[in-house]
């Protein structure tokens, strides 16, 4: 009787674990579908949707205009989707550059003790200063605009991922197969390409995804403060900055829907990153 009960409990446990994995995969698929829908909507919106129409200005949200219109009669749904697509593009570029910087510095830290001390000092230096302050200084120093935003975000969002990758690389260097490769005379590049990079790919992928929320929010923040993208571009930060002047007149939809859409995009990216982390991480993977 006890054997039958234990086998039944194991079967129930296995079903539960399988359902947990299924839910994780489904959440990733749903999140990717939602993001893809936002991007496609933003790319296929014509310029007539965001052009000036004074005959419908200051219109409240309706079926014809889901997010309402602004003081120039521009459709806020179209502007918001365009802004999210622009933020997504900035996030892709900056997250990719930050991931490359993190990978390079983590591999550099294993060169010798001096290189490791320099990398550790750089990590502590950038983590000791708030991201937004450093980002504003770098963006202002390089002239602002799209170039300033991309360079500023890319140069300020690598420390946390670098610290994680550095610890992983140091642990891999202490393994037996890496020691055997060193004694056989293999070069550092050969060891990095054959032994280190395959083990770092899951961390790189998860770190790349999780950098998106920070990159998108900081891009919107510095654009809102006037140090980011130019006012001619329908960025979310510009939309929110412009809408602040009209909130006192009762036009609440100008800031509510763009801000909510930005939070949804950031939350979806965070959900995808956490779900991928549960799938690829050995500790979480055993619990699925």
CATH of the domain at 60: 1.10.3720.10
**C-alpha span between 269 and 218 (Å, rounded):** 15
Nearest to 204 by CA among 105, 89, 271, 117: 105
Q: Is the dihedral of CA 89, 25, 163, 175 positive or negative?
A: negative
102: tokens are: 């993190």
Using one digit for the tens of pLDDT, what is the confidence trace for 155-176? 888 888 888 888 888 888 777 7
Using one digit for the tens of pLDDT, what is the confidence trace for 148-157? 888 888 888 8
**C-alpha span between 125 and 26 (Å, rounded):** 39
User: What are the residues facing 75 on neighbouring strands?
Assistant: 69
Question: How far from each other are the two terminal CA atoms of the chain, in whole angstroms?
Answer: 28
Regarding predicted confidence, which is higher, 256 or 224?
A: 256
**C-alpha span between 134 and 131 (Å, rounded):** 5
Using one digit for the tens of pLDDT, what is the confidence trace for 186-216? 777 777 777 788 888 888 888 888 888 888 8
Q: Are 149 and 219 in contact (CB under 8 A)?
A: yes
pTM: 0.78
Q: How many domains does the chain have?
A: 1
Q: Are 60 and 253 in contact (CB under 8 A)?
A: yes
Of the pLDDT bands very low, low, confident and very high (cuts 50, 70, 90), residue 101 is: very high
User: What are the residues facing 69 on neighbouring strands?
Assistant: 75
Using one digit for the tens of pLDDT, what is the confidence trace for 8-28? 444 444 444 456 677 778 888
Nearest to 164 by CA among 138, 133, 125, 199: 199
Q: Are 203 and 209 in contact (CB under 8 A)?
A: no
Query: What is the DSSP secondary structure assignment for residue 157, as one 8-state letter?
Result: S
What pLDDT sits at residue 1? Answer: 47
Domain range holding 275?
A: 2-285
CB-based contacts of 66-69 (< 8 A; 24+ apart in sequence): 66/257, 67/253, 67/257, 67/258, 68/251, 68/253, 68/254, 68/257
**C-alpha span between 221 and 178 (Å, rounded):** 44
Query: What does the pLDDT average to over 37-55?
Result: 78
How many helices and strands, by DSSP H and E, does the chain display?
A: 12, 0
């Amino acid at each position: 009787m006890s054997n039958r009960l234990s086998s039944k409990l194991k079967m129930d446990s296995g079903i539960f674990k399988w359902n947990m994995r299924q839910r994780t995969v489904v959440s990733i698929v749903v999140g990717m579908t939602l993001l893809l829908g936002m991007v496609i909507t933003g790319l296929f919106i014509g310029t007539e949707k965001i052009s000036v129409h004074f005959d419908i200005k200051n219109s409240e949200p309706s079926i014809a205009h889901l997010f309402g219109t602004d003081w120039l009669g521009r459709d806020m749904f179209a502007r918001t989707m365009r802004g999210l697509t622009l933020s997504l593009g900035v996030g892709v570029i900056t997250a990719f550059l930050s991931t490359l910087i993190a990978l390079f510095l983590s591999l550099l830290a294993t060169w010798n003790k001096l290189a490791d001390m320099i990398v550790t000092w750089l990590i502590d230096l950038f983590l000791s200063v708030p991201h937004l302050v450093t980002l504003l200084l770098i963006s202002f120093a390089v002239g602002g605009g799209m170039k300033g935003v991309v360079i500023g975000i890319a140069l300020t969002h690598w420390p946390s991922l670098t610290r994680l990758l550095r610890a992983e690389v140091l642990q891999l260097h202490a393994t037996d197969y890496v020691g055997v490769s060193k004694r056989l005379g293999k070069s550092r590049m050969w060891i990095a390409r054959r032994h280190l990079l395959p083990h770092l790919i899951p961390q790189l992928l998860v770190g790349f995804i999780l950098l998106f929320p920070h990159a998108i929010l900081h891009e919107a923040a510095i654009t809102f403060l006037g140090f980011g993208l130019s006012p001619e571009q329908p960025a979310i930060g510009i939309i929110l900055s412009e809408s602040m002047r009209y909130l006192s007149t009762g036009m609440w939809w100008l800031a509510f829907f763009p801000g909510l859409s930005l939070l949804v995009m950031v939350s979806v990216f965070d959900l995808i990153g956490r779900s991928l982390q549960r799938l690829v991480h050995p500790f979480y993977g055993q619990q699925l």
